[in-house]
């Protein structure tokens, strides 16, 4: 379906003007769009947040059971931090002007159990291009007992998802790491997405399998060999790490698109979306807690989701300044600029839409195709 959906509006003035203003911002200040010294320091901090607890865990002098689980929880915080603040920018090509450095840091996802190729197809290609479009954006596709789109088939138990969804969020990274990566790569090969990315499927399978073996060797194998814990305790520690990481990732990503006030446009029978891609992003994306600098630092600027979707090739350390330009330009052209002032407001908005989408006849955020304006 991703090959048939097209944005057909001819009104490109907004993004043309916005691009000019953003380019002028960087040019007039003579600064790079990529990482700066603060970003490098953050990179070191995020990897330390993951690997220092790991070093303590496998230390021969460390045998406290409660401490073992607490350190795994800290690793989960570091794991999410690496994903949001380092890997994310690198795999968008935003960390550096150097392709090799972006690729190197992008493979940090493989280092912590994931798969960079799958992530780039699912996130960069499908989610960023077709945000909140049913059947294309995998972020809103049906996930077991969760319903994230009003166009997804309703089932009776969805009425209670606003209660149980929070428990399932912790499984996000665990499911991807342990199960989903294999199915995704097979699916992308079958759908022609691997070929479209000019990738070699055998190379990608080799990278996936080798990196998984390496990951399980150091994250489970070594602890089994050096720690005085039962195998189930080691696995429970592994699960604890991923549950913490998964929950953090879910509650940061979900309020950006699955939140009260968002929209779920449907293409017409020809696969046309009657908007430009950039304006579509404004309708389907929401910022939150833009004044919370501590949160912004940890989540890699993903609370500036509007800016990220419009300029994903710009390092997130610049989003705060760019947000002033984006908001002003959107308002000037009469387009929405959606934002929740506090993280708590974003969580409430997500709770509300989970509850609304749990209703059989939910009409949340549904936009029907409209004629193209020349």
Residue 163: how many CB atoms within 10 A of its CB? 12
- At residue 317 the predicted structure's pLDDT band, cuts being 50, 70 and 90, is very high
- Rounded to an integer, the average pLDDT of 124-151 is 90
pLDDT tens, residue by residue, 22-79:
999 999 999 999 999 999 999 999 999 999 999 999 986 666 889 999 999 999 999 9
Distance, CA of 339 to CA of 296 (rounded, Å): 14
- Hey, what's the torsion of the CAs at 359, 365, 369, 374, to 10 degrees? 170
In this structure, what DSSP letter does residue 367 have?
Answer: E
Give whichever of 135-139, 150-154, 338-342 has the largest mean pLDDT.
Answer: 338-342
Question: CA nearest 173: which of 253, 91, 58, 257?
Answer: 253
Look at residue 284 in the predicted model and tell me its pLDDT: 96
For residue range 191-235, what is the model confidence (pLDDT) as tens digits? 999 999 999 999 999 999 999 999 999 999 999 999 989 999 999
Distance separating alpha carbons of residues 66 and 71, to the nearest angstrom? 9
Domain locations along the chain: 6-92+123-171+240-362
Q: What is the mean pLDDT of residues 265-292?
A: 94
Mean pLDDT of 348-357: 96
**pLDDT over 60 (residue 368):** no
């Amino acid at each position: 379906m991703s090959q048939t959906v097209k944005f057909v509006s001819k009104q490109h003035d907004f993004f043309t003007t916005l691009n000019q203003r953003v380019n002028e911002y960087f040019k007039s200040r003579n600064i790079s769009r990529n990482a700066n010294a603060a970003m490098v320091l953050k990179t070191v901090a995020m990897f330390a947040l993951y690997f220092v607890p790991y070093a303590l865990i496998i230390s021969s002098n460390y045998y406290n059971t409660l401490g073992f689980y607490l350190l795994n929880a800290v690793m989960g915080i570091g794991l999410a931090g690496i994903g949001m603040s380092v890997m994310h920018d690198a795999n968008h090509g935003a960390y550096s002007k150097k392709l090799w450095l972006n690729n190197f840091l992008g493979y940090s996802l493989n280092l912590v159990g994931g798969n960079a190729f799958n992530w780039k197809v699912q996130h960069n290609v499908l989610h960023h291009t077709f945000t909140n479009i049913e059947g294309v954006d995998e972020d809103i596709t049906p996930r077991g007992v969760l319903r994230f789109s009003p166009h997804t088939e309703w089932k009776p138990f969805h009425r209670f998802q606003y209660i149980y969804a929070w428990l399932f969020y912790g499984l996000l990274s665990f499911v991807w790491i342990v199960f989903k990566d294999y199915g995704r790569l097979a699916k992308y090969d079958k759908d022609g997405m691997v070929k479209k990315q000019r990738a070699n499927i055998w190379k990608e399978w080799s990278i996936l399998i080798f990196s998984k073996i390496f990951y399980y060797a150091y994250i489970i194998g070594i602890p089994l060999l050096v720690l005085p814990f039962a195998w189930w305790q080691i696995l429970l520690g592994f699960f604890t790490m991923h549950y913490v990481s998964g929950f953090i990732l879910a509650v940061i990503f979900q309020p950006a698109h699955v939140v009260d006030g968002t929209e779920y446009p449907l293409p017409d029978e020809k696969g046309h979306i009657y908007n430009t891609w950039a304006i579509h992003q404004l309708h389907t994306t929401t910022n939150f807690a833009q004044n919370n600098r501590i949160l912004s630092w940890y989540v890699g600027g993903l609370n500036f989701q509007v800016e990220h979707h419009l300029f994903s090739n710009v390092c997130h350390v610049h989003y705060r300044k760019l947000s002033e330009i984006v908001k002003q330009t959107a308002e000037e052209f009469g387009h929405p600029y959606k934002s929740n002032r506090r993280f708590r407001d974003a969580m409430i908005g997500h709770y509300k839409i989970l509850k609304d989408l749990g209703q059989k006849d939910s009409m949340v955020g549904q936009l029907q195709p409209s004629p193209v304006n020349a």
